[in-house]
Amino acid sequence: MPPIIRMESVFFRYPGREIFRDLTLYLEEGEILGLIGPNSSGKTTLLKLMDGLLQPQRGKVFLEKEELRQLPRPQVAKQVAVVPQEMEVPFPFTAGEIVLMGRAPYLGRFGWEKRKDLDIAREGMALTDVAGLENRPFLELSQGEKQRVLMARALAQEPKVILLDEPTSHLDINHQVEFNELIRRLNREKKLTVLNISHDLNLAAEYSHRIALLHRGLIYAMGTPSTVITEENIRRVYETTVMVERNPFTGAPRVTPVGKTERETSGPQKTIHLICGEGSGVDSARRLLLRGYRVSLGVLNMGDTDQKIGKTLGLAMALEEPFSAISERAYGENQVLIEKADLIVVERFLVGKGNVPNLQAAIDALRKGKRVVVLENNLEYDFTGGEARACYRRLKEEGAVFITDHSRLLEEAERHLNPN
């Protein structure tokens, strides 16, 4: 059976931030697909692309056999419904009126609800156990009641697909389970296809046929819950240590966070030096500091994003004047910080004639026996006439560890600095 929604080689970016570079994903008819991933990995953006609220700059999104962007919105709304985390309601609508909004695609611009529309809305309210709330003001409902009303509104659209954007994030555990049981029942009885974004890995594992793990704009892993929710995948993507067991009652994966023991956090503090710029070191510095490492930065131009963050955090830095090439003085200051560091990390940044010495500093560090980890850089914009590529080639030839993204950075730091 062909997918009901599929995304092919989708590229999407917001101004100043790339979200997806080459994303391919499909939603099979009749399944519950759980979508998981860290904050800012693009989950809500993916949902909006599937619903046609956003359009990819490259690639295509298909609803059954037709490209989504070619379909009129009312036609899409008859097949795809969205349940958001919460809904802003500026007027005092009742719960029943909110649910009837789901009939809008069938009414036309000036149409009024008919008996059939009322019957469909009431059926949705009955299925979601909010029939007794029909005349209650929506804004006076509890968060759990609001979510069930929004689910009833989605059902009133009579869709084939429901897209859920973390619908249980504000609910207590009782209402979380209750809502997921409702989704499972509707999937079985109504044959609804469901995409469910969730931050709760255990609920996603329990109530999904398949799981898609999103990370840095790509599908890191996709398959059954037991093949996707593994200790290694969670460690790489979420950058934290967990224990994954089997739920003794259902067999689904069960995730338990594992905090660092006193033995792991004791001992001399290690220093990691980030060769960075243009904001490329911000996330790494934050993560490394939270893990108990000391962090230094260089060479940075004053006014650079990394320099501003480094100043705020009180980090040691090698600095150069704004918009200036790295001088011998700044290069020497950077060498002093490198000498004090236990590990050197070369972040992914734009390389020009002025900051090539940062790459040379990493090469010199290798030759002095320092451990160096390098973020792969495809140099889409190489302003050095090939000199930067030659530096990256020498780094690889002389033993630097190259990693494709930051998901391995903490792992490499632990491997090099805490081998036991």
User: Over its length of 420 residues, how does the chain's per-residue pLDDT go in tens digits?
Assistant: 679 999 999 999 988 788 998 899 999 999 999 999 998 888 999 999 999 999 999 999 999 999 999 999 999 999 999 998 878 887 889 999 999 999 998 887 666 888 899 999 999 999 888 988 999 999 999 888 888 899 999 999 999 999 999 888 877 888 888 889 989 999 998 899 999 999 999 999 999 999 999 998 889 999 999 999 998 899 888 888 788 888 888 999 999 887 554 434 444 588 999 999 988 888 888 888 888 899 999 899 999 888 988 888 889 999 999 989 999 999 999 999 999 999 999 999 888 889 999 999 999 999 999 999 999 888 876 778 889 999 999 999 999 999 987 778 888 888 888 766
How far apart CA 219 and CA 24 sit, in angstroms, is 8
* SS3 label, residue 94: strand
Residue whose C-alpha is closest to residue 374's, from 413, 342, 402 = 402
Whether a cis peptide bond, with omega within 30° of 0, leads into 299 is yes
CA-to-CA dists, residue 17 to 166, 217, 305, angstroms: 23, 11, 15
Q: How many helices and strands in the chain, by DSSP H and E?
A: 17, 20
Q: All domains of the chain, ordered by start, with CATH?
A: 5-257 (3.40.50.300), 262-417 (3.40.50.450)
Q: Would you say 399 and 371 are in contact if contact means Cβ atoms under 8 Å apart?
A: no
β-partners of residue 294 are 271
Which residues lie below 8 Å from residue 349, measured CB to CB, with a gap of 6+?
276, 277, 278, 280, 355, 377
Residue 419: per-residue pLDDT: 64
Q: What is the pLDDT of residues 165-182, one digit of tens each?
A: 988 887 788 888 888 998
Q: How are beta strands 193-197 and 161-165 bridged, if at all?
A: parallel
* pLDDT at residue 302, rounded to an integer: 93
Nearest to 412 by CA among 216, 235, 217: 235
For residue range 282-317, list pLDDT tens digits in order. 888 888 888 889 999 989 999 988 898 888 888 999
Residues 6 or more apart in contact with residue 325 via CB below 8 angstroms? 353, 354, 355
Check residue 260 and give its pLDDT: 53
- SS3 assignment, position 114: coil
The pLDDT value recorded for residue 390 is 92
Name the residue type at position 143: Q
Q: What is the DSSP letter of 86?
A: -
Tokens of 335: 């060498």
Q: What radius of gyration do the chain's Cα atoms show?
A: 26
Q: Please check whether residue 270 is in contact with residue 417, taking contact to mean a CB–CB distance below 8 angstroms.
A: yes
